[in-house]
Amino acid sequence: MSQKTMRDAINEALHQAMEQDESVFVIGEDVAGCQGSAGEVGSVGGVFGVTTGIYNRWPDRCIDTPISESAIVGAAAGAALVGMRPVAEIMFADFIGVCMDQIVNQMAKFRYMFGGKSRCPAVIRFSAGGGFSAAGQHSQAMYQVMTSFPGIKVVVPSNAYDAKGLLLSAIADDDPVLFFEPKVLYQEACEVPDEMYTIPFGEAAFVREGDDVTVVAFGQMVPKAAAAIDELAAEGISCDLIDPRTTSPLDENAILESVEATGRLVVVDEAPPRCGLTADIAGLAADRAFASLKGPIKQVCAPHSPTPFSPELEAAYLPDIPKIKAAIKATMA
Amino acid sequence: MSIPTQALSNAYRLMKTIREFEERVNAEIMNGQIPGFTHLYTGQEANAVGVCAHLDTGDTIISTHRGHGHCIAKGAEVSGMMKELFGSSEGLCKGKGGSMHVADIDKGILGANGIVAGGPPISVGSALAAKIRKNGKVAVSFSGDGSVNQGTCFEAMNMAVVLQAPAVFVIENNYYSEHTNISYAVGCDDLKARTEAFGFPVFVADGADFFAVHEAAGKAIAHARAGNGPAGVFAEQGRYHGHFVGDPQHYRGEGELDDLRENHCCLKNFRARMVETGEVGNDVLDAIDAEVMAEIEQAVVDAKAAARPTPEQVTQDVYINYGAGA
């Protein structure tokens, strides 16, 4: 056990999965890097450094590709269909726009359309989310969109410990898994065991426990919500903070049981509101825990807008601690 | 093809403007003044200028994540671009787009683009509009050696041939798609032949030589403008900086960057040619250098003083406004 960043925790999970199972391989753009160049192949390890060192140990199972997102996802889906366990990297979640058919119409549909006779144990990893002034085509969360498609599992870790355990579950899973890594959290560290461990899908984490308000947050919003809740503790407000960790499958029971106990719900996500996770969770509570609710459900999310470039605009765009605190207090009013 | 003296001076001015704009942007990023992801065009200036020299405002270009040079060559105002990169609400895109999305539609600049090979299909649409309107305009898409392996690029090239649209595909080979050499990422040995197999001619040029690019682009654009369907230009020239600012560039060979700057410089080549032909004097070029440096300095001063955006601007230009959100 030692302090590890989310980047290092994911990297360690990849190393351990590669070590344990020869059917696991990594594929993507610059996952090794420097192919065909004068430089040392393997010295990039992905643009965020997440696949560092994999090529050096398993050059045959760390596969650089051209810039061809559809072919990357398709190749992962096809290899998985015949028994391999690929872990593909798509550099930015926004590039789902380039390879959406292979995800949504192909890999997500195999098992169902083929009468349950196929398995597609592919993992697609993405860097996701805002916070880098990376503007409209490199900042989107995207996981909320993918959650709406049956046939794929969707993982959104909020810390290094969860990221490692969830990725090892993803690689072992027999169905396609989309794994969204909030890129502003890559450098955030926490205690992470050295050995392999798994975290089951569909099991939410209670990051804080309290009596007054249930707060559900996703990805990079989890640490922000925790900070908001800790500040409110001084004002005598105590909250449950639920991190679902996987949005598909979703731990409905954890959310409903908490709402039944507190009677108040705030849902926090960085994506825009329409057809998003905040509306989805609010709908769940309104449908299944209405009698317990003491007041309106509050959604804290980005406005209905692409992600702006300018730092001031992005700061206004993304939910922050004051907005989360205000929403929690509004449910207490 | 002889180029009028005024056009020569203008081409040099544009190349120098791009060079100094990029070098200053690099410095301002290091100073922490410019946020986000930035990809510099330094070294490849002759490509943009050699191509855009054949275009007027009715023609369009579409660009890439490495788009500053294309925008300047097509007439984007330097001050508005600098303000955009600084995130000002006075920027060309009101601070909404930044480096990767500089655009000026009125000048036929359909935008830099953060998606590799996002541009070529859109450019075919602009070319198709020109064909339908019979206005003799052309649409140029700039994209890199990395873009040629995307399905969108293949689809755009084929459809431009099918539709006989006046689209010009300018492929800038700077040898690296991000951190991977073209010798790995392009499977065949002859990319020109692979591209021509779509059914249009491709003209190849040394991208450090303005005159070579100008000649190749002239042939391609004349071909498209005359109604013969699409054409291609391949310009080969390495970039002086990394894929993005901050890239450690592990893929470079020893001395590679020094060699690029020393022996593959469009500005040096241009000056050497002018000494040879006497068409534009060194004194004139020196004066242009001084004017460009002053213009870039002023652009930075203006960008630092320019208005900052305010929160209510987040939801402007989204067609639908639900307010500022939760």
For helices A6-20 and A160-172, the axis angle rounded to 10 degrees is: 30
Q: Decide whether A2-192 matches A205-332 in CATH topology.
A: yes
Contact list, A49 vs chain B (CB under 8 Å): none
State which amino acid sits at residue B213.
V
Contact B168, B229 (CB under 8 A): no
Q: How high is the pLDDT of residue B321?
A: 81
Best mutation target, A269, A278, A281, A313, to test chain B (most B CBs within 10 A) = A313
Cβ atoms within 10 Å, residue B24: 17
Report in angstroms the alpha-carbon separations of A179 from A100, A197, A269: 15, 17, 17
Q: Do A67 and B98 touch (CB under 8 A)?
A: no
User: For B273-311, how does the pLDDT look when each residue is reduced to its tens digit (9 = 90+)?
Assistant: 999 999 999 999 999 999 999 999 999 999 999 999 999
Asked whether the predicted pLDDT for residue B323 surpasses 80, the reply is no
Question: DSSP letter at A306?
Answer: P
CATH of B5-315, one of 3.50.40.10, 3.30.1310.10, 3.40.50.970, 3.30.70.2190: 3.40.50.970
Cβ atoms within 10 Å, residue B248: 11
Closest to A182 (Cα-Cα) out of A245, A240, A122? A245
Asked whether the predicted pLDDT for residue B264 surpasses 50, the reply is yes
State the Cα–Cα distance between residues A27 and A43, nearest whole angstrom. 15
State which amino acid sits at residue B194.
R
Q: Do A67 and B149 touch (CB under 8 A)?
A: yes
Q: How high is the pLDDT of residue B326?
A: 44
State the Cα–Cα distance between residues B267 and B44, nearest whole angstrom. 10
Q: How high is the pLDDT of residue B1?
A: 62
Q: What is the CATH number of domain A2-192?
A: 3.40.50.970
Asked whether the predicted pLDDT for residue A14 surpasses 90, the reply is yes
Share of chain A above pLDDT 70, in %: 100
Select the residue of A67, A136, A304 nearest B116 (Cβ to Cβ): A67
Stretch B105-123: mean pLDDT, rounded?
Answer: 97
User: For A140-166, how does the pLDDT look when each residue is reduced to its tens digit (9 = 90+)?
Assistant: 999 999 999 999 999 999 999 999 999
Per-residue confidence band for A244, with pLDDT thresholds at 50, 70 and 90:
very high
Alpha helices by DSSP H, chain A: 6-20, 54-57, 69-81, 96-100, 110-113, 143-146, 160-172, 221-233, 252-262, 277-288, 311-317, 321-332
Contact B267, B16 (CB under 8 A): yes
Residue carrying the six token digits 């959100």: B325
Q: How high is the pLDDT of residue B324?
A: 57
| Strand-pair partners of B141 | B62, B169
Burial of A9 (0-12, 13-18, 19+ CB in 10 A): buried
- Given CATH 3.40.50.2300, say whether it is the number of domain A205-332: no
Domain locations in chain A as residue ranges: 2-192, 205-332
Select the residue of A44, A67, A308 nearest B95 (Cβ to Cβ): A308
Q: Which residue has the higher pLDDT, B2 or A246?
A: A246
Q: Active site residue: A7, A85, A125, A138, which one?
A: A138
**DSSP assignment of B38-107, as one string?**
----TT-HHHHHHHHTT--TTSEEE--SS-HHHHHHTT--HHHHHHHHTT-TTSTTTTSS-GGG--BGGG
Domain locations in chain B as residue ranges: 5-315
3-state helix, strand, coil in chain B (%, to 5): 50, 10, 40
Active site residue A138: yes
State which amino acid sits at residue B147.
S
Whether B259 contacts chain A with CB within 8 A:
no
ipTM: 0.93
Contact list, B89 vs chain A (CB under 8 Å): 310
Peptide linkage before A249 cis (omega within 30 of 0)? yes
Q: Sheet harboring A213-217: ordered strands across?
A: A205-208, A239-243, A213-217, A265-268, A298-300
Contact B164, B131 (CB under 8 A): yes
Select the residue of B36, B249, B311 nearest A133 (Cβ to Cβ): B36
Q: Do A133 and B177 touch (CB under 8 A)?
A: no
Give me chain A's average pLDDT, please.
98
3-state helix, strand, coil in chain A (%, to 5): 40, 20, 40
User: For A68-106, how does the pLDDT look when each residue is reduced to its tens digit (9 = 90+)?
Assistant: 999 999 999 999 999 999 999 999 999 999 999 999 999
Residue carrying the six token digits 């909404």: B96
Whether B199 contacts chain A with CB within 8 A:
no
Q: Do B151 and A70 touch (CB under 8 A)?
A: yes
Q: How high is the pLDDT of residue A7?
A: 98
Closest to B102 (Cα-Cα) out of B84, B128, B117? B84
Asked whether the predicted pLDDT for residue B325 surpasses 70, the reply is no
User: For A258-267, how does the pLDDT look when each residue is reduced to its tens digit (9 = 90+)?
Assistant: 999 999 999 9
